[in-house]
């Protein structure tokens, strides 16, 4: 049984709902970064024990939220010892605009994973980009590097689109399946 940890920040709940979808798909454990950018007690130990770490953050001002960045900076401690080397990593983000510079957030998460000596798992689903495609089709937003969701600025958490959440759920499943295939029991 592989262990997946989903470490995420969410200011207003949308990214949290996405994180829950990733957890449903992966069977992983959620680890919320709080409003001060801190992990709950036992959080670092849980990350150390994980085979796969999935990063999640809203895109704010074209990048990850400062709370996620504080967590990333604090991960310099395991980085010193390369304690997360060869773990699997993946990432997801959510923002208001269709594009909204979400890729900047995913790109940062990939860089963080590489600094830790990890192996990156992308979305692995072709985009639904034909004329016939509709908004709730798999990967309608057309990401390759990780899962993304769009929550319009006036959308409540309950308004999040089922297609984006299903894409996140399938992404979680993929991370768990890749971990089971690549990592020794």
Residues that bind ligand FMN (CB under 6 A): 10-15, 58-62, 94-97, 100-101, 151, 153
Q: How far is the CB of 1 from ligand FMN (least distance, A)?
A: 29
Q: Tell me whether residue 58 or residue 118 sits nearer to ligand FMN (CB atom).
A: 58
Nearest to 169 by CA among 2, 6, 3, 1: 6
Q: Tell me whether residue 139 or residue 150 sits nearer to ligand FMN (CB atom).
A: 150
Q: Tell me whether residue 44 or residue 60 sits nearer to ligand FMN (CB atom).
A: 60
Q: How far is the CB of 119 from ligand FMN (least distance, A)?
A: 26
> Cβ distance 41 to 65 under 8 Å?
no
Which two structure tokens, joined as six digits, stand for 43?
């959080």
Q: How far is the CB of 183 from ligand FMN (least distance, A)?
A: 30
What's the CA gap between 154 and 74, in Å, rounded? 33
Which two structure tokens, joined as six digits, stand for 162?
């089922």
- Label the pairing between strands 63-64 and 29-33: unpaired
Q: Tell me whether residue 11 or residue 122 sits nearer to ligand FMN (CB atom).
A: 11
Q: How far is the CB of 54 from ligand FMN (least distance, A)?
A: 15
Which two structure tokens, joined as six digits, stand for 11?
């200011």
Residue, CB closest to ligand FMN: 100
Beta strands in the chain (DSSP E): 4-9, 29-33, 52-60, 63-64, 88-95, 119-120, 147-150
Q: Tell me whether residue 101 or residue 166 sits nearer to ligand FMN (CB atom).
A: 101
Q: How far is the CB of 67 from ligand FMN (least distance, A)?
A: 10
């Amino acid at each position: 049984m592989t262990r997946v940890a989903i470490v995420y920040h969410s200011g207003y709940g949308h990214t949290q709902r996405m994180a829950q979808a990733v957890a449903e798909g992966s069977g992983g454990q959620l680890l919320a970064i709080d409003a001060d950018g801190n992990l709950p007690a036992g959080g670092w130990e849980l990350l150390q024990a994980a085979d796969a770490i999935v990063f999640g953050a809203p895109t704010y001002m074209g990048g990850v939220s400062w709370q996620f960045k504080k967590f990333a900076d604090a991960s310099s401690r395991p980085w010193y010892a390369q304690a997360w080397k060869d773990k699997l990593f993946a990432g997801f983000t959510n923002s208001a605009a269709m594009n909204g510079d979400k890729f900047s957030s995913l790109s940062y998460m990939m860089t963080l994973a590489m600094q830790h000596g990890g192996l990156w798992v992308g979305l692995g689903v072709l985009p639904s980009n034909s004329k016939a495609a509709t908004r709730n089709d798999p990967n309608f937003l057309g990401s390759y590097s990780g899962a993304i969701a769009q929550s319009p600025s006036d959308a409540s958490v309950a308004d999040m689109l089922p297609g984006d959440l299903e894409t996140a759920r399938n992404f979680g499943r993929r991370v768990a399946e890749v971990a089971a295939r690549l990592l020794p029991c």
